[in-house]
């Protein structure tokens, strides 16, 4: 495991003592690690705590080693997985991803999983995304396909946050909340 991830895991173990149970966890690699999640949440009215446990360069193999500290120890109600972008050269990426899903579901049987599809057009991305869709049951395991964008701009993050934030909620949003989200 990469040294930067090992150091961050130690910090996360300490932070978990302050974390609320039955909330939301995002476990991801580079894109989600760089996602300005907390800045966007501060501009919205989200009724749940959201914990971003994403690491730059995180592979699925590494996620398998740290999912207990990043996910299980918080005992979340919802988990968003955004993995696979670092695994294009791994022949076992899909099998490892499926194992990770099974391990999380075994550890937290009532958790709702949201699997975030990869963006891109490569054969790897297509195969990986097809696997994600096969894993979904529409009740406990769902998938999210974020809108593709050519830019790495703030607008891309805003667009993706708007897509994700509707899954952070339990109840229908009010008109004022809808306007708040649209301003993000």
Over residues 28-74, the pLDDT tens digits come to: 999 999 988 888 777 676 778 999 999 999 999 999 999 999 999 99
Q: How far lies 119's CA from each of 6, 10, 115, in Å?
A: 27, 31, 13
pLDDT at 147: 77
The three-class DSSP label of residue 51 is: strand
What's the CA gap between 24 and 98, in Å, rounded? 20
Maximum CA extent, the chain: 48
Arithmetic mean of pLDDT, 114-126: 94
| 3-183: CATH number | 3.40.50.1110
Asked if 60 and 96 count as a contact pair (C-beta separation under 8 A), the reply is yes
Measured CA to CA, the distance from residue 29 to residue 57 in angstroms comes to 6
Helix (H) or strand (E) holding 2: none
Give residue 168's pLDDT: 66
């Amino acid at each position: 495991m990469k040294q930067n991830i090992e150091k961050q895991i130690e910090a996360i173990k300490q932070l978990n003592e302050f974390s609320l149970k039955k909330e939301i966890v995002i476990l991801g690699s580079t894109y989600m690690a760089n996602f300005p999640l907390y800045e966007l949440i501060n501009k919205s009215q989200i009724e749940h705590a959201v914990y971003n446990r994403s690491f730059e360069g995180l592979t699925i193999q590494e996620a398998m080693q740290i999912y207990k500290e990043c996910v299980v120890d918080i005992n979340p109600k919802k988990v968003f997985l955004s993995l696979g972008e670092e695994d294009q050269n791994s022949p076992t990426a899909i099998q490892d991803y499926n194992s990770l899903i099974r391990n999380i579901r075994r550890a937290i049987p009532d958790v709702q999983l949201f699997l975030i599809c990869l963006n891109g057009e490569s054969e790897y991305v297509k195969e990986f995304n097809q696997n994600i869709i096969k894993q979904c049951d529409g009740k406990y395991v769902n998938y999210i396909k974020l809108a593709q964008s050519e830019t790495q701009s703030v607008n891309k993050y805003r667009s993706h946050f708007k897509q994700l934030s509707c899954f952070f909620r339990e109840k229908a949003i009010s008109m004022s909340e809808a306007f708040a989200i649209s301003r993000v």
